[in-house]
Chains A and B, each alone.
Chain A
Amino acid sequence: MDFIYAVIPPQVLNQIFVGLSRTTILFIVSSGMSLILGVLRIPNVAHGSLYMIGAFMAFTVSKAFGGGTTGFWMALVLVPVAVAILSLIVERGLFQFLYEREHLMLLLLTFACSLVLGDLVKLIWGAEYKSVPVPHMFQGFVPLFGGIPFPLYNMFLLIVGPVVAIVLWLIVNKTKIGKIARAAAVDREMVGAVGINVSWVFAFVFVIGCLLAGLGGALVAPTVSVTLGMDHTLIMEAFLIVIIGGLGNIWGALLGALIFGLSQSLGILIWSQFGIVFPYLAVIIVLLFRPTGLLKSTW
């Protein structure tokens, strides 16, 4: 280990791990967004609102179960389902009538949804900060590189990220509905012509994407203060990740989230005041050389 420390100082290694746990959240949210963008061609601004709703719901669920470990696991199961149901209502009620319209209208419709959802959150949960307790089994720190304490919960996030990625890959590539969805992304009329109800395929993809947003919200809730406006910064980050990864490409979302999370956490080491600027700079550099993203987009 001493050899590694000689090459990379322990603080840097620690920051890399911090960045990786941030990457997990970013990946989970932006992969859902990328899925919706790739198949339905909707730039879903309301995605951030669903993430915020997920975090607030996690607060309510975990409180209802006594705020302990049970509450946390229940939140992790119930919140994505609840968000998925909400998104299904929105999709069947609004979006399905507008698939033929221009992207601009769809973008504005999702923005309208995000305004409504944001105010509903204010109406239901109020404007105060909420905090979700870290479950008992993930409290505390593990001494990582050079004895620098690293939160146990972030270790848990590092395990969740790859699991979600693999499950998503299996759904998209190995199940029948995933294959139909990929076909619909390329040519929706043709898929309709062979007798598949494209409208419900779209609904399925939309719900899966939004479920991921809810899961991201539930996962992030114990690490941040849950507050109004947490959607606005996240949605921008998710947008950037989706762009640099390639629209609609899930592995691109993973790559983008890695670039974003790592440049942010390492940027703080370099220049703490402007640490937040580094991911944006990374995005610009990527886009200057590969304007359509690093990996192949589905468009």
Chain B
Amino acid sequence: MKKDILGRKGRIAGILLLLFLFFLPFIAPRFYVYMASIILLTGLLATSLNFVLGYGGVFQFHHCVFYGAGAYGTALMITKGGVPLWISFIAGPVVAALLGLVMGIICVRLSKLYFGMLQISLGSLVWVIIYRWYSFTGGDDGIHGITMPDIISSYNNAYYFTLFVSLICLFIMYRMIKSPFGSALQGIRDNPIRSEMIGINVRRHQVMALTIAGFFAGVAGALFVVVDNTVFPDMLFWTLSLETVIMCLVGGWFTFLGPMLGTAIIIALRTFVSTYTVYWALVLGIIMVLVIFFLPTGVLGFIEEKLNKKMIEPVIEE
């Protein structure tokens, strides 16, 4: 969407950004390559959340459940499954998508805030089970030192794998949003009753969107296993979910690349601030308050508003 609005300049900027990302391992030290991988996969997570939250208008507060499910699914398949390694990478996202389907079917009967709170409670159940099931999931220690296929075991190759997979996933999600399905989803967000009237099956569309978002969050989780070789129960804790919502907000929902930008801002800032002080949460909280008060459409939303004043603002309201 950024490219549509910025036109030729935007396209050049996009190509330059891709070239930069491609050559990053040659010019940057290992730490920054690792950080870029984390930004990419967390950005994928935030984009998948935005898929249901910004475009679908569904209050999916506890999205990291699917991130964690994807990561744990992959990790457990590798360590205990005994199947070919590459199948494990498919298995994680599929587990997450199934979880998304089940939770979607349960939650979609409710609307807005009730949906969000029921979703948080179901997600917490999943968290508690993983947190307590020492014999299977390793409990609060998580699983460490997961062996990767040789081809993606080095830092740079893991980075390229992450870059490649997340770009493909972003592209697929972008096409989905531009497809009739995506339009129907946005229609439901803006006016569910009218959408129902013109023959859109609201709940089925929402459940499908939740399943798709769960799948891509699961992909992000599997990528985390590739980059970090660990999983731990905090990946499913609700604070991380709300941090992901913050990333969407900072970058700007209703824009496709906003969550990615927001993730980059938050993670780069966290890395920067953490070298000076341990009180990162304090800084993040203050940034949050400022963004909510002065920049409610996020950075990219703000830029788009400046560039294109005619744009009609979508509303999420009860």
Asked whether, in the complex, the Cβ of A273 is within 8 Å of the Cβ of B288, the reply is: no
Asked whether, in the complex, the Cβ of B121 is within 8 Å of the Cβ of A280, the reply is: yes
Interface footprint category on B? 35 or more
Asked whether B117 is an interface residue with its Cβ less than 8 Å from the other chain, the reply is yes
Interface residues of B (CB under 8 A from A): 59, 61, 106, 109-110, 112-114, 116-118, 120-122, 124-125, 128-129, 132-134, 237-239, 242, 245-246, 249, 278-282, 284-286, 288-289, 292-293, 296, 316-318
What residues on B are CB-neighbors of A119 within 8 Å? Answer: 279-282, 285
What residues on B are CB-neighbors of A94 within 8 Å? Answer: 289
Q: How far is the CB of A128 from chain B (nearest CB, A)?
A: 14
Which has the most chain A C-beta neighbours within 10 Å: B117, B134, B284?
Answer: B117
- 4 closest pairs, A vs B, by CB? A112-B288, A115-B285, A116-B285, A119-B282
Asked whether, in the complex, the Cβ of A97 is within 8 Å of the Cβ of B121, the reply is: no
Asked whether A4 is an interface residue with its Cβ less than 8 Å from the other chain, the reply is no
Can you sample 14 A-B contacts with CB below 8 Å? A43-B117, A97-B293, A107-B61, A108-B242, A112-B289, A116-B285, A116-B289, A119-B282, A239-B120, A240-B121, A274-B129, A274-B132, A283-B121, A291-B110
CA distance A111 to B120 in the complex (A): 14
Asked whether, in the complex, the Cβ of A123 is within 8 Å of the Cβ of B117, the reply is: no
Q: How far is the CB of A98 from chain B (nearest CB, A)?
A: 7
Known: A291-B109, A291-B114. A273 touches B132 (CB 8 A): yes
Asked whether A163 is an interface residue with its Cβ less than 8 Å from the other chain, the reply is no
Known: A115-B281, A232-B237, A283-B121. A98 touches B114 (CB 8 A): no
What residues on B are CB-neighbors of A2 within 8 Å? Answer: none
CA distance A53 to B281 in the complex (A): 16
Known: A277-B125, A287-B118. A103 touches B292 (CB 8 A): no
Asked whether A136 is an interface residue with its Cβ less than 8 Å from the other chain, the reply is no
What residues on B are CB-neighbors of A45 within 8 Å? Answer: 242
Asked whether, in the complex, the Cβ of B242 is within 8 Å of the Cβ of A277, the reply is: no
The one of B113, B132, B134 that contacts A103, using a Cβ cutoff of 8 Å: B113
What residues on A are CB-neighbors of B112 within 8 Å? Answer: 103
CA distance A119 to B129 in the complex (A): 28
Q: Mark A284-299, 1 if CB is under 8 A from B, else 0.
A: 1001100110000000
Q: How far is the CB of B268 from chain A (nearest CB, A)?
A: 18
Asked whether, in the complex, the Cβ of A104 is within 8 Å of the Cβ of B288, the reply is: no
What residues on B are CB-neighbors of A292 within 8 Å? Answer: 110, 114
Asked whether, in the complex, the Cβ of B121 is within 8 Å of the Cβ of A116, the reply is: no
CA distance A108 to B113 in the complex (A): 13
Asked whether, in the complex, the Cβ of B281 is within 8 Å of the Cβ of A108, the reply is: no
Asked whether, in the complex, the Cβ of A98 is within 8 Å of the Cβ of B237, the reply is: no
Known: A108-B249, A111-B242, A287-B118. A236 touches B124 (CB 8 A): yes
What residues on B are CB-neighbors of A284 within 8 Å? Answer: 121-122, 125
Asked whether, in the complex, the Cβ of A98 is within 8 Å of the Cβ of B292, the reply is: yes
Asked whether, in the complex, the Cβ of A243 is within 8 Å of the Cβ of B113, the reply is: no
Asked whether A170 is an interface residue with its Cβ less than 8 Å from the other chain, the reply is no
Nearest opposing residue in chain B for A288, CB measure: B106
Asked whether A105 is an interface residue with its Cβ less than 8 Å from the other chain, the reply is yes
Asked whether, in the complex, the Cβ of A104 is within 8 Å of the Cβ of B237, the reply is: no
CA distance A239 to B120 in the complex (A): 9
Chain A residues 60-109 with CB under 8 Å of chain B are 94, 97-98, 101-105, 107-109
Total cross-chain contacts (CB, 8 A): 116
CA distance A276 to B126 in the complex (A): 12
What residues on A are CB-neighbors of B125 within 8 Å? Answer: 277, 280-281, 283-284
CA distance A273 to B132 in the complex (A): 7
The one of A103, A115, A116, A236 that contacts B120, using a Cβ cutoff of 8 Å: A236
What residues on A are CB-neighbors of B117 within 8 Å? Answer: 43, 239, 242-243
Asked whether A120 is an interface residue with its Cβ less than 8 Å from the other chain, the reply is yes
Asked whether, in the complex, the Cβ of B288 is within 8 Å of the Cβ of A111, the reply is: yes
The one of A108, A122, A273 that contacts B292, using a Cβ cutoff of 8 Å: A108
Q: How far is the CB of B57 from chain A (nearest CB, A)?
A: 10
Known: A123-B279, A280-B124. A243 touches B285 (CB 8 A): no
Q: How far is the CB of A278 from chain B (nearest CB, A)?
A: 10
Known: A108-B246, A232-B237, A288-B106. A276 touches B285 (CB 8 A): no
CA distance A211 to B285 in the complex (A): 23
CA distance A276 to B292 in the complex (A): 36
CA distance A22 to B36 in the complex (A): 45
Q: How far is the CB of A117 from chain B (nearest CB, A)?
A: 8
Asked whether, in the complex, the Cβ of B132 is within 8 Å of the Cβ of A112, the reply is: no
Asked whether, in the complex, the Cβ of B128 is within 8 Å of the Cβ of A276, the reply is: yes
The one of B237, B242, B279, B296 that contacts A105, using a Cβ cutoff of 8 Å: B296
Asked whether, in the complex, the Cβ of B118 is within 8 Å of the Cβ of A243, the reply is: yes
What residues on B are CB-neighbors of A281 within 8 Å? Answer: 125
Asked whether A113 is an interface residue with its Cβ less than 8 Å from the other chain, the reply is yes
CA distance A236 to B238 in the complex (A): 9
Chain A residues 197-254 with CB under 8 Å of chain B are 232, 236, 239-240, 242-243, 247
Q: How far is the CB of A50 from chain B (nearest CB, A)?
A: 15
CA distance A92 to B96 in the complex (A): 42
CA distance A159 to B238 in the complex (A): 33
Asked whether A32 is an interface residue with its Cβ less than 8 Å from the other chain, the reply is no
Asked whether, in the complex, the Cβ of A120 is within 8 Å of the Cβ of B282, the reply is: yes
Nearest opposing residue in chain B for A119, CB measure: B282
Asked whether, in the complex, the Cβ of B285 is within 8 Å of the Cβ of A113, the reply is: yes
Asked whether A118 is an interface residue with its Cβ less than 8 Å from the other chain, the reply is yes
CA distance A280 to B132 in the complex (A): 13
